Amino acid sequence: MVEVRDLHKSYKVGKMLFPALRGISTTIGDGEFTAIAGPSGSGKTTLLNIIGCLDVPTKGKVLINNMDTGQLSTKEKAALRKKEIGFVFQTFNLIPVLSAFENVELPLILLDMPAAEKKERVVNILKEVGLEEFIGRRPNEMSGGQQQRVAIARALVKGPSMVLADEPTANLDSTTATEILKLMKELNEKLKTTFVFSTHDFLVMDFATRLIKLRDGKITKDETK
Amino acid sequence: MKILLLAWRNVFRHKRRTLITAAAISVGLGAMVMSNTLMNGMDKIASWNIINYETGHFEIFASGYYREEGMFPLDTIIDDPEPLLAIVRDIKGISGVTERVKFPARVNNGIDEFPVLAIGIDLNTEFDVFKTNKTVVTGHFIEKPDDILIGTELANTMEVDEGSVLTIITRDKYGTYNAYDFIVAGLITTEHPLFDANAVIMDINVTQELLSLGKGVTELNIRIRDESKVPDMKEVIQSKVGADYEVYTYKELYASIFEVSGIKRVGQLMIALVVVIIAAVGIINTMLMAVMERIPEIGTLKAMGFQNHDIVKMFLYEGGIIGIFGSLLGCLYGLLLSLYIVFVGIDLSSVFDSSDLGYPLKFVLKGTIDPALVLLVFVFGVIVSVLVTLWPVRRATKLQPVDALRHV
């Protein structure tokens, strides 16, 4: 469970302070499929980054499973990301010199796990995302949709409690985007992993079971379908 | 292991860049290997010439002679060498001992006169220590009291040949001028410039007569069985012969040559080091580019939970891999050039025709490869490559994950 309490974040642009989040408070339960929606500059990515311990708030708290992430050291945050949080990025962010298999395997090299188990997990998750025949291909040998599937597999392979996806379909055509969303939904239901993703795409919002709308760094709507 | 794989793949993202960087470092390392081979060869040949023609492994002088050796002081010679010879022969590990008389003289061909170093040798024991018997290229070795051997270069300069008559003029022990006529029995060619251009070799008995020395000799020359024991044997010989005599190793006698060699080595090493440092700047540049162009990837890795030490490790591996390639390439081309120097050699005859480099060697210089140094150069190259990578990698560690991910 993720609890966000009165979260503020300001960025310094030149000599000016630009407020990206202005007092966000919400709770995201385990297994939710939540979309954070809003126009550009509404604070979606900032909120996801702070929840994912990639950024720090100016004020307020984020508690993951009742643990205040603001109290964690850089090392502890890295350890939390390593085990509990998977990321999916708008631009896929796959390592170009590694194959699909190796990209998915990458988060596992940080975990103490037998090689056979690692291999089994990678193969299984690649099957789940429908890429069992593409395991030896490098990112530049795959379509955008296939690359995003690899990225989703990479985020899920370590069995995290939460996947944070920043505009996961923004670089995909609508057909591929629908496939990816269906896949994420299926995995959410099957693996019970919490999915939180940012979007300004109505298609994505339709898939979400909960929709949190942001505007100018504030929640304007929070509805569960 | 996977980080190493990632590093390996990253290195080959830009094959040409990696190759150029590795080639740059290889230039300096190869130069190090080659210059060492050359210097080893020079030292080896110089040592060989000194030991086999000039000093043996040790020289023994009467106490006080060596301090004024340049003056050839005939009043501080070994007056009766026989007891000393007997003592030295009994020392374990000695393979030969002989006696010589060295003195300055002038040699006259009837028209011109030239200053030379005259060397009286004991024909019975000379070859137990020296290899002068293998140097005669024209004529024969000394057989009669009035036979002398001279170097081919000196013969050319004086325009004399086998059978020519030469007059040796010198002062005896009491300062009186003395002159004997000799016949050139043979011409010698060594690889030692002193012998080929400046020396006259004759029978020690005639020398002693010419200088009024009686049985006296200026030095004893010793050869030992195991050359590596020269430093240990010095103490042994000195203790046996007592304080009336001074024992010197060939390295002590030619300290200036070996010191110059050391300085030359340092000089060559410094030049090679500068080349390596320039190449290291190339590695820094390559790694800096690698870090800059992979900032979003570094962000992704950090988002996955990779810590700074994992990122540093990856880049250090990359620097190390480039270093291994560069060092391998450098050692390989250094060894190839070295093999040429070892088997074909560098012809120095034209150099020595016009000048004296102060080294007791000439003709073809052949190198000697030192495998330990090649290994050292390899390790050095890799370590330098890894160490210089630390600086560009600092940028990667300072990046916050969110900033790295935002970087375009």
Residues B90-104 have pLDDT tens digits of: 999 999 999 999 999
What SS3 state is found at B396? helix
Q: Which of B5, B296, B305 sits opposite A81 (nearest CB)?
A: B305
Would you say the ipTM is above 0.95? no
Predicted local confidence at residue B44, as pLDDT = 85
- Residue A142 is given by DSSP the state S
CA-to-CA distance for B82 and B168, rounded, in angstroms? 27
Report A:153-212 residues touching B (Cβ under 8 A). Answer: 154
CA-to-CA distance for B43 and B168, rounded, in angstroms? 34
Instruction: Tell me whether residues B402 and A54 touch, CB distance under 8 A.
Output: yes
Q: Which residue of A has its CA nearest to B408?
A: A91
Say which residue the tokens 């996801």 belong to: A48
CA–CA min distance A74, chain B (Å): 9
Predicted local confidence at residue A85, as pLDDT = 93
Percent of chain A topping pLDDT 90 = 53
Instruction: Tell me whether residues B402 and A107 touch, CB distance under 8 A.
Output: no
Q: How many CB pairs under 8 A join A and B?
A: 63
Put simply, whether B306 touches A (Cβ < 8 Å) is yes
Q: Which of A52, A81, A98 sits opposite B9 (nearest CB)?
A: A98
Q: Which of A49, A82, A89 sits opposite B305 (nearest CB)?
A: A82
**Interface mutation target, options A51, A97, A104, A158, chain B, most CBs of B under 10 Å:** A97
Closest to A158 (Cα-Cα) out of A208, A116, A104: A104
Q: What is the pTM of this model?
A: 0.76
What SS3 state is found at A44? helix
What SS3 state is found at A186? helix
**Interface mutation target, options B294, B300, B397, chain A, most CBs of A under 10 Å:** B300
Q: Which of B9, B401, B402 sits opposite A97 (nearest CB)?
A: B9
Which residues of chain A does B408 touch, with a Cβ-Cβ cutoff of 8 Å? none
How many of the other CB atoms lie within 10 Å of CB of B312? 16
Which residues of chain B does A89 touch, with a Cβ-Cβ cutoff of 8 Å? 300, 405
Q: Which residue of B has its CA nearest to A75?
A: B307
Which residues of chain B does A107 touch, with a Cβ-Cβ cutoff of 8 Å? 304-305
Q: Which stretch of DSSP H or E encloses residue A103?
A: helix A100-105
Give how far Cα A75 sits from Cα of A4, A67, A113, Å. 22, 15, 20
Give how far Cα A121 sits from Cα of A99, A157, B296, Å. 16, 6, 26
- Asked if residues B97 and B240 have their Cβ atoms less than 8 Å apart, the reply is no
pLDDT tens per residue, range A44-92: 999 999 999 999 999 999 999 889 999 999 889 999 999 999 999 888 8
pLDDT tens per residue, range B114-168: 999 999 999 999 999 999 888 888 899 999 999 999 998 899 999 999 999 999 9
- Asked if residues B311 and B396 have their Cβ atoms less than 8 Å apart, the reply is yes
And the tokens for B406?
């935002």
Which residues of chain A does B12 touch, with a Cβ-Cβ cutoff of 8 Å? 97
Predicted local confidence at residue A218, as pLDDT = 93
CA-to-CA distance for A194 and A191, rounded, in angstroms? 9
Q: Please list the pLDDT of chain B residue by residue as tens digits (408 residues).
A: 678 888 888 888 888 888 988 888 898 889 888 888 888 888 888 888 899 998 999 999 999 888 877 778 888 899 999 999 999 999 999 999 999 999 999 999 888 899 999 999 999 999 999 998 888 888 999 999 999 999 988 999 999 999 999 999 999 888 899 999 999 999 998 877 788 888 999 999 999 999 999 999 999 999 999 988 998 999 999 999 998 999 999 988 888 777 777 787 788 778 878 878 888 888 888 888 888 888 888 999 999 999 888 899 999 999 999 999 999 999 999 999 999 988 888 876 665 555 555 555 556 778 888 899 899 889 999 999 999 888 888 887 888 888 888 776
CA–CA min distance A112, chain B (Å): 13
Report A:62-81 residues touching B (Cβ under 8 A). Answer: 75, 78-81
Q: Which amino acid is at A123?
A: V
What SS3 state is found at B159? coil
And the tokens for A107?
């988060």
N residues, chain B: 408
Q: Which amino acid is at B312?
A: V
And the tokens for B34?
């080659």
Residue A88 bridge partners (DSSP)? A165
And the tokens for B260?
């110059």
DSSP string, B78-89: BS-HHHHHHHHH
CA-to-CA distance for B239 and B111, rounded, in angstroms? 50
Instruction: Tell me whether residues B304 and A81 touch, CB distance under 8 A.
Output: yes
